[in-house]
Amino acid sequence: MAMYESDHTKFMREWMEKHPEQRDEQKKGRALWWDKPQSVEEQKRVAAVRVPVKPYYYDINN
């Protein structure tokens, strides 16, 4: 049984094979937005201000 792969995924896979230099640009972009080192103090601060999520968001009784 074959797994589904969208047209966009196929396009991006082929494009990245044809343009291997873009891997470095992709890594730079990811590092810019996502791969940030966090200290233990920062993780504690984020955990302290986290708001709990309701079990069912649209239920006004909870």
Render pLDDT for 3-41 as a digit per residue (tens, 0 to 9).
999 999 999 999 999 999 999 999 888 888 887 888 999
Is residue 59 situated within a structural domain? no
Cβ neighbour number for residue 22 with a 10 Å cutoff: 12
| pLDDT of 62 higher than 80 | no
Is residue 57 situated within a structural domain? no
* Count of domains observed in the chain: 1
Residue 54 CA from chain centroid, whole number: 23
The CA distance from 36 to 42, in Å, is 11
For the full predicted model, state whether its pTM sits above 0.85: no
Range of the structural domain that residue 11 is part of:
7-49
Is residue 60 situated within a structural domain? no
Is residue 25 situated within a structural domain? yes
Is residue 28 situated within a structural domain? yes
**Residue 2: what pLDDT?**
73
